[in-house]
Amino acid sequence: MEDGFVALRKFVAPEIIFGQGAMARCAEYAATFGASRPLIVSDEGVAAAGWAGRVESQLGDAGVDFTRFYDVSPNPRDAEVMAGAELFLRERCDMIIAVGGGSPMDCAKGIGAVATNGGHILDFEGVDNVPEPMPPLLCVPTTAGTSADLSQFAIILDLARRTKIAIISKGMVPDISLCDPETTVTMDAELSAETGMDALTHAFEAYASNASSPLTDLHALEATRLIAGSLALAVERPGDLAARSRMMMGSLMAGLAFSNASLGVVHAMAHAMGGLLDLPHGLCNALLLEHAVAFNCPAAPERYAALGEALLGRPLRGAGADEVADAVRGGLAALRRRIGLGERVELRPLPRHALSELAAMALADPCVVTNPRRPEAAEIEALYAAVLPVA
């Protein structure tokens, strides 16, 4: 691996406000960006929890008119992005405020890209394919996991192909992230667990990435420590604001790390699997991560040793690759079980050829290029077989 202190590196991040009361700054930022009609992008779940309404009333109190777009499903679809962009243009909106988890935020990014550049959202698939910057985008994340409020990634479900496409562009980095831990207390145990494991996977894959750097390492390791220490607490005691705050900070740091170091085989596989089977993204990551660690560890044992120390709180450096892999894998499995996530996806068994289709899609995903070990299709199929029922 190249020396991270010598190699040329870049670090991109939005303006971030973190802490209780952060979301109350919405109206102020609408004024800062000279917005006269923001489009609020959210979903019904977040609206039901009251967070979208909180943003609406803050804008209302400040005399800012807004337009709502709440028709976003989990794993946002290309058609939803296009409908949102059409609404944005028709209502002459001039800013986007995303309130929610990864789905509304990714949808909001897609809406912004289409509103400015025209064309179809699927045209922007891949890296650096968004030529013009989108309108000002402010995010209020309400889960501690996705980090779409920080990253250059937007994942959109191509419903026709039943696959998730990745749009990766510096222009997709939001302008403002208002991280208010209070918004995460309304998540139930399952969502808290899945999104938390998503954040942990971000930290792991960013740290193990072949594009990691000192700046991303710092965030990835600290994120691992914070998530390892607070995820189970946040799941078990949903109202524990201290645990929720640590989770949100962990998620934020993991987001900064992966947005700049990119990810690995877990995300490449989770995108394919989540798209084909319409599964929660966090769950896919949570189940795949420990198997991917075992696969990757021989290629970067020191990296996984450092991650294991952060995860387990005990020294691992100097241990052999197998020992590191076992320790980390065991720690991840223990955490997964403690927060109530199963061993495998509960589905009717899939035909054998579905695994090779998934593997092909995962190999085509841009996330795979920064994985520390270059996987073969058969290896990916084997990883899938560990978590998916096969006929």
Partner 1 sequence: MRPSSPSPKPGGDEAVRERIIGLGSGSARKSYYPQLKEKIRDLEAKQLELMETVRTLEERESELERLVDEKEALLKEVHHRVKNNFQIVGSLLNLGLGIASSSAEARAFAKTKRRIDVMAMVYGRLLATESFAELELCSLARSVVNALFYEAELREVALAYDLSCVDLRLDVERAIPFALILAEAAGNALEHAYPEGRGELAISLGFARDAPGSVRLAVEDDGPGPRSGGLPRSDSSLGLTLIDALAAQLKAAWRYERRAAGPGLRFVLELRP
- Site of interaction with partner 1 (CB under 8 A): 8-10, 12, 125-128, 130-133, 161-163, 168-171, 173, 210-211, 260-262, 276, 357, 360-361, 363-364, 366, 368-370, 374
Residue 191 vs 367, nearer CB to partner 1: 367
294 phi/psi in degrees, rounded to 5: -60, -40
Q: Tell me how far apart the alpha carbons of residues 28 and 5 are, in angstroms, rounded to a whole number.
A: 38
Structure tokens at 299: 């290629």
Residue whose token pair is 């495998």: 344
Q: Tell me if residue 350 falls in helix, strand or coil.
A: strand
Closest CB to partner 1 among residues 87, 380: 380
Check if the beta carbon of residue 279 is closer than 8 Å to that of residue 269: no
Which CB, 119 or 126, lies closer to partner 1?
Answer: 126
H or E element, residue 300: none
Min separation Cβ 131 and partner 1, Å: 8
3-state SS class at 17: strand
**Distance of closest approach, residue 366 Cβ to partner 1, in angstroms:** 6
Query: Between residues 17 and 369, which has the closer beta carbon with respect to partner 1?
Result: 369
Nearer to partner 1, 254 or 276 (CB): 276
> Smallest distance from the beta carbon of 170 to partner 1, in angstroms?
4
264 phi, psi to nearest 5 deg:
-155, -155
CB of 173 to partner 1, least distance (A): 6
CB of 203 to partner 1, least distance (A): 17
Q: How far is the CB of 374 from partner 1 (least distance, A)?
A: 8
Please say whether the beta carbons of 336 and 387 come within 8 A.
Answer: no
Q: How far is the CB of 274 from partner 1 (least distance, A)?
A: 14
Shortest separation between residue 364's beta carbon and partner 1, angstroms: 3
Cβ atoms 245, 337 nearer than 8 A: no
Per DSSP, 145 falls in state S
Output the smallest distance, CB 358 to partner 1, in A. Answer: 9
Amino acid at 304: Y
Angle at 171 between CA 200 and CA 266, to 5 degrees: 25
Nearer to partner 1, 186 or 370 (CB): 370
Between the CA of residue 190 and those of 197, 237, 337, what are the distances in Å? 11, 12, 12
How would DSSP label each residue in 54-81? HHHHHHHHTT---EEE----SS-BHHHH
Strand runs labelled E in the chain: 15-18, 38-41, 67-69, 95-100, 126-127, 137-141, 153-158, 163-168, 176-179
Which residue number, 81 or 173, has a Cβ lying nearer to partner 1?
173
> Which of 184, 213 has the CB closer to partner 1?
213
Contacts of 76 (CB under 8 A, 6+ apart): 103, 104, 106, 107, 110, 156, 157
Please, are residues 214 and 4 in contact by the beta-carbon 8 Å criterion?
yes
Residue number with CB closer to partner 1 (165 or 324): 165
